[in-house]
Amino acid sequence: MTTSADLLELSPVIPVVVLDDAAQAVPLARALLRGGIRVIELTLRTPAALSSIERIAAEVPDIVLGAGTVTAPEHAEQAARAGASFLVTPGTTDRVLDAVEDTGLPFLPGAATVSEAMRLAERGLTALKFFPAEAAGGVDHLKSVGGPLPGLRFCPTGGITVDTAPRYLALPNVGCVGGSWLTPKDALAAGDFDRIEALAKAAAAL
List the catalytic residues: 41, 129
* DSSP single-letter state for residue 179: E
Is residue 177 within 8 Å of 160, Cβ to Cβ? yes
User: What stretch of H or E contains 121?
Assistant: helix 114-122
Listed in sequence order, the residues at least 6 apart from 190 whose beta carbon sits closer than 8 Å to its beta carbon are: none
User: What stretch of H or E contains 201?
Assistant: helix 193-204
Is residue 172 within 8 Å of 9, Cβ to Cβ? no
For the chain, the residue count is 206
Q: How far is C-alpha 68 from the chain's CA centre?
A: 6
| Nearest in space to 28 (alpha carbons), one of 175, 165, 180 | 180
